[in-house]
Structure 1
Amino acid sequence: MLLRQATRADTAELWRVRYAVTENTLTPGRISDAELHAYLEDHGRGWVVELEPGRLAGFAIGDARDGHIWAMFVDPPLHGKGHGRQLHDVMVAWLFEQGHARLDLGTQPDSRAEAFYRRAGWRPTGEGLDAHGDRRFELLKKDWNPHA
């Protein structure tokens, strides 16, 4: 298993994992390869957990411009093995290193992802649901404990 930076060569596997999830689903085609590549190469950075060459367990992408978690997904059969936490921690650390004091994300209410983020120290912003029906969360640098 290898935790490494994502590249455009990972595109097919990123989409495979993204469309495999059963919560926080995405309609195929709503986000283009070009938009994905912009987040990987221009707006931020992504990471993958690679089980073997060409086979990903999951991925995370953070936006360096504003500290937004753009995506974080683990292949459902591999939930609970620590891949998500590895991805989360490397992404959060990198975003804080970019100078952000606050990170944000949105996720489906009452989902496994919401529970995961709460355990990792994220707190609801209190803004209610956004236009996509997601609950908004924030993580403040001063409150983050990567060893929690």
Structure 2
Amino acid sequence: MKKQKSRQACGLITFNKSFVNFYPVDKSSGKVIGWCGYHTWYTEHNRAEIGYYLNAEEHKRKGYMSEILQAVLTYGFNQMNLHRVEALTATYNTASIKTLEKFGFKYEGLLREHYLVDGIHEDSPIYSLLRHEFPRTIQVREATLQDIDAMSVIRLSVKENPLNNPDLVTRRDYEDYLTSYGKGWVAEVDGKIAGFAIVGLQQKNIWALFVDPSHEKAGVGRKLHDTLMDWYFTQTDEDVWLSTDPQTRAAKFYRRKGWRESGMHGNELKFIMSALDWRTR
């Protein structure tokens, strides 16, 4: 009773902190590209509602929001001690729904005529994510020969740059790159390999960078890429190159990372990165 009287006297602020917002900035322009954060934060019950928004169409469908959500959810569960995160969206916002489902949010039901938009009360699907359901931070470690089977499964499962003939890449190829030509890394999520990257130092070539389709747009490829590149340019100042199919998300990813197109390599686009470009990006 005493606690309830205190709440009444002090107001709802005693157990509801309104906003904890983050404003992502584009590295190249220095401009804020949107926001992501928590509201309706019930500290007593360790729960909050998350919201997110990108300012312009040019920033959408590039994986930015997945990268932002990974950081903000990690902050919520680790720093705010949240047990439950809720998210409301619109029935027609399929992109938002896919993003929530990618992070493990569970659909709980429909709040009927819940949100007023342009004079119309719209339904709001409600999703939630519990602390134990949130994937642990992506862990990148050096690949070993024992990882080859898992890497091969991922290589054969990707939708872009598919390997139509498994015999074209043998176990011996993996072994040679890991033990003789260069070095490789795997990214683990919840203790399972979610992606891998391998570079050939002798060949000056990124031989492989692939992510399990179920972990796409979650920052796995970016973390593998950056780890590989940092290591490569501690070993040499020679340019490194790679190739990928044109008109793919991979090609767009490499352009955003500062790779320069350098003609074709067979039927694939060839990209080059210099030590100077990487270190001054």
Compute the TM-score of the two structures, normalised by the length of structure 1: 0.91
Match of 2:242 in 1: 105
Matched, 1:141 2:279: no
1:15 aligned to which of 145, 149, 152 = 152
Tell me if structure 2 keeps the 8 A contact 1:67–1:100.
Answer: no
Give me the whole-angstrom Cα distance separating, in 1, the residues matched to 2:249 and 2:149: 24
Q: What is the one-letter code of the residue matched to 1:32?
A: T
Matched, 1:3 2:140: yes
- Provide structure 1 residue ranges, at least 5 long, that are not aligned to the other structure: none
Give me the whole-angstrom Cα distance separating, in 1, the residues matched to 2:169 and 2:251: 22
Match of 2:265 in 1: 130
**SS at structure 2 position matched to 1:16:** helix
Give me the whole-angstrom Cα distance separating, in 2, the residues matched to 1:145 and 1:95: 12
Matched, 1:72 2:209: yes
Give me the whole-angstrom Cα distance separating, in 2, the residues matched to 1:33 and 1:66: 18
**SS at structure 1 position matched to 2:167:** coil
2:187 aligned to which of 31, 46, 49 = 49
Q: What is the one-letter code of the residue matched to 1:108?
A: D
Q: CA deviation at 1:114?
A: 0.4
Q: CA deviation at 1:50?
A: 1.4
Q: CA deviation at 1:145?
A: 4.8
Q: What is the one-letter code of the residue matched to 1:91?
A: L
Tell me if structure 2 keeps the 8 A contact 1:66–1:100.
Answer: no
**SS at structure 1 position matched to 2:168:** coil
- Provide structure 2 residue ranges, at least 5 long, that are not aligned to the other structure: 1-137
1:62 aligned to which of 199, 203, 208 = 199
Q: How many residues align?
A: 143
Name which one, 1 or 2, has greater alpha-carbon Rg: 2
Moved >6 Å (runs of 4+) = none
Match of 1:92 in 2: 229
Task: Give the structure, 1 or 2, with the largest relative contact order (CA under 8 Å, sep 6 or more).
Answer: 1
1:39 aligned to which of 168, 173, 177 = 177
1:82 aligned to which of 214, 219, 229 = 219
* Cα deviation 1:81-135 (Å, max 9, x = unaligned): 111111001111111111133110000001111011111110101x2x322x111
